[in-house]
Amino acid sequence: MMADLKWNMVVDVALCTNCNNCVVATQDEYMGNAFPGYSAPSAPGVKVMEIDRHVRGADAMVDVSYVPRMCQHCDDAPCVRQGDEAVVKRADGIVIIDPAKARGRRDLVNACPHGAVVWNDVENVPQIWTFDAHLLDQGWSAPRCVQACPSGAMAVHKVTDADMAARVEKEGLTVWDPQAGTKPRVYYRHLDRVTTHFIGVQIHAGEGDGEINVSGAEVELTLDGRRVMAARSDAFGEVRFDGLADASSGYAVRISHPDYPADTCVVEGALTESRVVTVKLGR
């Protein structure tokens, strides 16, 4: 039944390049435009969508992920609870702050645990990314940010909650801040690039002019002596063990290569951020 179909958004963190087309397409939509019932015009500096940068690693072993952040259109949204009539949860899942009823409601900015409600001083209203509901209601198939994304990092799905749950399960989607318990309708793929750490290993051997990277070494990651995962070092003598959760101390890497004596390197301290260890074989 049509009434059961609800909007959801999926952002693939691995595909976001920080090009900012989504951010600016959204600014373009609301600059100078009032959409009664949906949104007051935007104002300079008022951004309902932003991209956060997350950097992992050190030295020359780093990676970067970008996470577009916006209203999560939560099914259990604190802003709806606090907003009385001013904030509405529509049957299709979209949350709307009514620009007329929410005048002066600065309190709604603090209601959101995701920091997604921003204050527009010019219009004297709190604002969110509306999912571009006024366009969807006119028959657009996707909001502006999705259409403007050149890498396909954003997609929307108008499906039943059951179908979405199946997709979440199948594709391993997660939400930004599950602890908040607000049941967001915005999901992320590859968010583990932000929420987990990597241990990078650089392996070399020899001295002076004879110094080389050791490729093809068998490298094993252990936690408290138990094998976690293993990989071979690449042409630059490097291995990256990714997807590691916060852990107290106990990680170590064991390196074996037919040309060198085996070596073990303990990753000092607790793993609270990505780490790079350098191992020199044959000493």
Partner 1 sequence: MSIEKTKLSVILASLPRVMKVARRINAAFRQHLEAGSGIIQVRLKDNSVARHYILRDGRIDTAKGLHADPDLDIAFVDAGVALRFLHPNPDQGDIVHFIKNYQVEMVGDDAVGVWFATLVKKMQSGMWKQGGKMPDSTIRYVTNTNGGPVYVFVRDGRIIRTTPIDLAADDPESWTIHARGRSFTPRRQATVNVHALSMKSVVYSERRLKYPMKRVDFDPDGDRNPQNRGKSGYERISWDEALRIVAGEIKRQKTQHGPGSISILHGAHHQMGNVGYWLSALMRFSNIVGATMMEFSPISWEGWYWGAQHHYGNSLRLGLPGAYGTLEDCLKECEMIVFWSSDPEATSGLYGGGEGTQRRLWAKELGVDFVHIDPHFNSTAQMLGGKWLPVRPTTDSALAHAIMHVWITEGTFDQAFVEKHTTGFEDWRAYILGESDGTPKTPKWQEDETGIPARDVVSLARQWARKKTYLAAGGLGTGFGGACRSATGQQWARNMILLMAMQGWGRPGVNFGNLQCGVPLDGTTYFPGYAEGGISGELNKTAAAINNFTRMPHVLTMNPVKQRLPRELSMEGIRDGHCSGYAWDGMSLETQFAKVDYPMTGYSKVHMLYQYGASSFGTTMNSSRLIDMYRDPSVECVVNQAIWQEGETQFADIILPACTVVEREDISEVCGCAGFAHHNQSQMNHRMIVMQHKCIEPLWESKSDYRIFTEILTRLGFGSMYSEGCDEIDWCKRVFQSSDIGRHISWSEFLKKGYVVLPPQLEDARDPVYMRWLHEDGKKNVPEPHPLPGDYSGEFLDGLQTQSGKIEFLPNSLRRGDPDNPERPVLNRYLPAWEGRTTADLARKYPLQLVSSHPRYSFHTQADGKGSHVSEIRDHRLTVDGYAYWIVRLNARDAAERGVAAGSLVKVYNDRAAVICAADVSPLVARGTVKTFESSAEFDFVIGSDGKVLDRGGCMNLLTPSRTQAKGTRAIAPNSCLVNIDRWDGVWGAA
Contacts with partner 1, residue ranges (CB under 8 A):
15, 17-21, 23-25, 27-29, 31-33, 44-45, 47, 50-51, 53, 55, 57-64, 138-139, 144, 147-148, 150-152, 204, 206, 208-209, 211-213, 215, 234-238
* 26, amino acid identity: T
Nearer to partner 1, 54 or 167 (CB): 54
Nearer to partner 1, 53 or 103 (CB): 53
Nearer to partner 1, 7 or 66 (CB): 66
Round to the nearest angstrom and report the end-to-end CA distance of the chain.
70
Task: Show the tokens assigned to 132.
Answer: 């571009």
Radius of gyration of the chain (CA): 24
Q: How far is the CB of 122 from partner 1 (least distance, A)?
A: 13
Q: What angle do CA 243, 245, 251 make, to 5 degrees?
A: 95
Q: Check if the beta carbon of residue 241 is closer than 8 Å to that of residue 228.
A: yes
Q: How far is the CB of 68 from partner 1 (least distance, A)?
A: 12
Helix (H) or strand (E) holding 167: helix 161-171
Buried b (16+ CB within 10 A) or exposed e, 123-137: bebbbbbbbbbbbbe
Q: How far is the CB of 229 from partner 1 (least distance, A)?
A: 18
Give the CA distances from residue 151 to residues 20, 145, 172, 190, 201, in Å, rounded to whole numbers and listed in that order.
11, 12, 20, 15, 31
Nearer to partner 1, 169 or 209 (CB): 209
Nearer to partner 1, 83 or 99 (CB): 99
Q: How far is the CB of 276 from partner 1 (least distance, A)?
A: 10
Q: How far is the CB of 142 from partner 1 (least distance, A)?
A: 10
